[in-house]
């Protein structure tokens, strides 16, 4: 992926090494690990997920930024800033015809745990978007997990992760998130899970929309990048995560979509590049 010459976003908040410490598990054990794995990647509002943890008191003074951060992460920080900036350049023109003004989200970089408007969250939940403060939260160490544990290496796979979370921000601006949450409060757990799947697949499709326009206008893609993006989408499918965590798959408990679904909707956004192409809620099965 061609990113080095890209514009850097000014909407980065670096809270790494802020002294929150690692949350202490209540109950702990294998059950907590399974839950953490199942909610690990690419969620919407993590306040909907009860992980069963509490946070320890502030274990050390904050450093006010990256004082305790591994220098190797600085390139990843630079990369994340470029991708965020590219989404900032892409979405305003797409939302304006819908009568929606694009408000740029901030990206918060953190380590171990972070305080958000969605509550205290730990790194195990993976990257997430909080509609309460309109911020994307990212522990850069997640990218190492994506490559080493889930077999999804490459710059474009990492860009897909960021673009997916920005996709949740777009849903928030469009009013999709509010409508889905209202519906979830009135239906069964299984139906609520299905609504979550449709929401996540739409965010995957929105990530594809970003890639479509970034390639068309700024020629960011190199050979193999599309495969990297599809590989990342597959790696975070509910069936992939469940099989890894518990050895079997329970489709009724899916909240993000299968590997095949996630790849399909990301590719659809990538190929068509329109909001209309990403109407997962009215799509035929």
Rounded CA-CA distance 110/63 in Å is 12
Residues 6+ positions from 5 with CB-CB distance below 8 Å: none
Tell me the pLDDT tens digit for each residue of 111-155: 999 999 999 999 988 899 999 999 999 999 999 888 888 788 889
> Where does the chain show beta strands of DSSP type E?
12-14, 24-25, 53-54, 106-109, 113-116, 119-122, 128-130, 135-138
Tell me the pLDDT tens digit for each residue of 217-226: 999 998 998 8
**β-pair type (12-14, 106-109):** parallel
Predicted pLDDT at 49 = 45
Rounded CA-CA distance 86/89 in Å is 5
Predicted pLDDT at 51 = 38
With beta carbons less than 8 A apart as the criterion, state whether 55 and 113 touch. Answer: yes
- 90: exposed, middle or buried (C-beta count within 10 Å: 0-12, 13-18, 19+)? buried
Beta bridge partners, 109, equal 14, 138
**Residue closest to 131 by CA, chosen among 150, 116, 152, 142:** 116
Predicted pLDDT at 35 = 38
**Helix, strand, coil percentages for the chain (3-state, nearest 5):** 55, 10, 35
Rounded CA-CA distance 67/60 in Å is 13
**With pLDDT > 90 as the criterion, what percentage of the chain qualifies?**
60
Structural tokens at position 124: 């195990």
**Residue closest to 46 by CA, chosen among 161, 126, 162:** 126
| Chain Cα centroid distance, residue 86 | 16
Predicted pLDDT at 255 = 84
Tell me the pLDDT tens digit for each residue of 197-232: 999 999 999 999 999 999 999 999 989 988 888 888
Structural tokens at position 57: 């008191």
Predicted pLDDT at 20 = 53
């Amino acid at each position: 992926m061609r990113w080095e010459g890209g514009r850097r976003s000014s909407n980065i908040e670096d809270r790494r090494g802020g002294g929150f410490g690692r949350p202490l598990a209540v109950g702990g054990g294998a059950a907590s690990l399974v839950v953490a794995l199942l909610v690990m990647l690419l969620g919407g509002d993590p306040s909907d997920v009860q992980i069963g943890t509490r946070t320890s008191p502030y274990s050390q003074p904050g450093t006010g930024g990256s004082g305790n951060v591994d220098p190797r992460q600085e390139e990843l920080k630079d990369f994340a800033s470029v991708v965020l900036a590219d989404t900032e350049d892409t979405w305003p023109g797409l939302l304006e015809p819908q009568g929606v003004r694009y408000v740029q989200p901030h990206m918060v970089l953190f380590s171990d745990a972070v305080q958000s408007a969605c509550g205290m969250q730990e790194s195990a939940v993976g990257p997430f978007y909080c509609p309460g403060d309109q911020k994307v939260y990212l522990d850069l160490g997640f990218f190492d997990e994506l490559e080493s544990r889930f077999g999804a290496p490459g710059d474009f796979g990492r860009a897909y992760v960021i673009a997916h979370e920005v996709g949740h921000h777009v849903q928030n601006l469009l009013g999709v998130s509010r409508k889905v949450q209202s519906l979830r409060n009135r239906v069964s757990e299984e139906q609520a899970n299905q609504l979550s799947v449709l929401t996540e697949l739409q965010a995957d499709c929105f990530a594809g929309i970003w890639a479509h326009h970034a390639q068309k206008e700024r020629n960011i893609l190199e050979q193999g990048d599309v495969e990297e993006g599809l590989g990342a989408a597959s790696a975070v499918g509910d069936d992939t995560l469940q099989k890894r965590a518990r050895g079997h798959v329970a489709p009724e408990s899916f909240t993000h979509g299968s590997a095949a679904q996630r790849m399909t909707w990301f590719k659809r956004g990538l190929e068509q590049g329109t909001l209309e192409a990403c109407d997962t809620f009215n799509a035929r099965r």
